[in-house]
Structure 1
Amino acid sequence: MTEQQILDAFRAHPNPCLVTLGGKVVSFDPETDVCVMQWQATQAHCHSTHGHPKGGIVQGGFVTGWIDAAMAHACMAKSRFTMAVPSLEIKVSFLLAAHPGRYHAKGWVTRWGRTVAFLEGELTDEAGQLIARASSTVALRPAPARAPAA
């Protein structure tokens, strides 16, 4: 599949969590299997905004979800949508606070096994500052059949 075919497939079958988390798939490189997603952090993603000069700090669960989604999308695309990838474990290192604004999460597969894959990812702000890094282990399970993208 080409990058465009993969992006079309993601757009034809959007994951409902992307609406909740405020994001979208931006690119997928079929040669490196790297998926890039864009996220828009809003006040609704923040802890209390009372008196915070940058409008609040994004709750860590959202940051985790953004990176997790990029890693999972990279894995699904690498399988050309033949695998579902339920998480077995995830570890996140929070390096800087995230505030309302735009972010990019990048996810990739570091090791592909018979029944398990190991993934890594990172979240950066618009200036390219590293906000968080993550690693994850996922189970590789046959995915339900998908209708082809129109």
Structure 2
Amino acid sequence: MSYEDLIKHTVARRPAAWELLGVGAVAYDPTRDRVVVEWHAEPRHCHSTEGHPKGGIVQGGIVTGWLDAAMATASLLRGEYLITVASLEIKVAFLLPAHPGLYRTYGKVVRQGRSIGFLEAELRDANDVLIATASSTAALRPKSPAVASPA
């Protein structure tokens, strides 16, 4: 199955949590072999909103969710949706605060074996400024044939 088909599958079946996180477009960058997911940060994603000149600071768990979603999606695409991906650990480096606005996560597979995946992601703002990075170790399990079909 092509990456284009796999992205269509991702968009058609994106998790409800993505809506809560403010998901936008989802794409695959074949040049860099990575998933690209857009996020729209809103005041509801923020703390410290009262009187903040930029509308608040996006809560760290939201930022982590954005990064995790990109990494897991990269792994699912690599496994052509025939696997499940469960995070065993995630390490996040918060380099700058995120505020309401447009962000993109770039998720990639560093190495993917039969049962363990090593993943990385970056979060960048609309001006391509690096906001946060993440690395993750994930447990990979085959789906049953009845569940595995991306059709």
What TM-score, normalized to structure 2?
0.92
Secondary structure in 2 matching 1:52: coil
8 Å Cα contact 1:119/1:136 also seen in 2: yes
Secondary structure in 2 matching 1:99: coil
Amino acid at match of 2:40: Q
8 Å Cα contact 1:54/1:100 also seen in 2: yes
Structure 1 runs of 4+ aligned residues shifted over 2 Å read 29-33, 146-149
8 Å Cα contact 2:43/2:56 also seen in 1: yes
Change (3 A) 1:24 1:129: same
Structure 2 spans left out of the alignment, 5+ residues: none
Greater displacement, 92-101 / 111-120 = 111-120
Alpha-carbon displacement from aligned partner over 1:115-148 (angstroms, at most 9, x marks no partner): 1010000000000000000000000111351454
Structure 1 spans left out of the alignment, 5+ residues: none
8 Å Cα contact 2:83/2:148 also seen in 1: no
Supply the distance in 1 between the matched residues of 2:5 and 2:25 (Cα, whole angstroms): 13
- Identity over aligned residues, as a percent? 51
- Counterpart check, 1:123 vs 2:141: no
Change (3 A) 1:146 1:31: farther
Greater displacement, 108-117 / 53-62 = 108-117
Secondary structure in 1 matching 2:93: strand
Corresponding residue of 1:55: 55
Change (3 A) 1:147 1:12: farther
Q: Count residues in correspondence.
A: 149
Q: How does 1:1-80 map onto structure 2 within 5 Å? A: 1-29=1-29, 32-80=32-80
- Considering fraction of residues, name the structure with more strand: 2
Superposed displacement of residue 62, structure 1 = 0.3
